[in-house]
Amino acid sequence: MRIRNYRPADLQTLYKIDQVCFPPGIAYPKSELMRFITERNSRTWVAESGDDIIGFLIASLEAEDTAHIVTIDVVASSRRKGVGKALMGAAEDWAREQRATVLYLETAEGNIAAQRFYRARGYLKVEKVVGYYSNGAAAWVMAKRLHDDS
């Protein structure tokens, strides 16, 4: 597996992965996914195994000291194999390089596996947002303080 930067030719594959990884109302429409990827202060990493894209992560710098993980998607057959960890590591390193001191994300209230994954990386639940997703599901905002030694 390797992590690389996004290429415009990746968009259709990333869109398909997002549609499979998340239910309707949580998965992004293609236009919104493209908007997140192309925002001036955002960065997208792609995980590949051979010629196949097996995951991706979009992050954005929102303020002088705050970065946001917009989405992290890993295909089911590649989960629990270090893909998410590698993508999160790339995003956390980038956020530090941008001088962010906090990195946060939202995860569905019912996605216990994701919450455990983020908690193991040092993220803490900071706020529950009722009706966050367009399908009405609630989300947890989870955040991590970034330090040079973490």
- Cα(81)–Cα(74) distance, rounded to whole angstroms? 10
Q: How many domains, in total, are found in the chain?
A: 1
* 104-124 core/surface letters (b: 16 or more CB in 10 A; e: else): bbbbbbebeebbebbeebebe
For residue range 79-135, list pLDDT tens digits in order: 999 999 999 999 999 999 999 999 999 999 999 999 999 999 999 999 999 998 888
Contact 42, 73 (CB under 8 A): no
Asked, for residue 86, whether it belongs to a domain, the answer is: yes
Given 3-state DSSP classes, what are the helix, strand and coil percentages for the chain, each rounded to the nearest 5? 35, 35, 30
Measure Cα distances from 13 to 73, 77, 90, 120, 141 in Å. Answer: 11, 16, 20, 29, 27
One-letter-per-residue 3-state SS of 61-75: EEECCEEEEEEEEEC
CA angle in degrees (0–180, nearest 5) for 59-80-133: 45
Average pLDDT on 58-86 reads 93
pTM for the full predicted model: 0.93
Greater model confidence, 137 or 145: 145
- Cα(24)–Cα(41) distance, rounded to whole angstroms? 27
Residue 41, helix vs strand vs coil: coil
Residue 39: give its domain's CATH number. 3.40.630.30
For residue range 6-27, list pLDDT tens digits in order: 999 999 999 999 999 988 878 8
For residue range 24-56, list pLDDT tens digits in order: 878 899 999 999 999 999 999 999 999 999 999
Residues 6+ away with beta carbon under 8 Å from 149: none
Looking at the DSSP bridge assignments, the partners of residue 67 are 61, 103
Asked, for residue 43, whether it belongs to a domain, the answer is: yes
Domain coverage including residue 114: 2-145
Asked, for residue 150, whether it belongs to a domain, the answer is: no
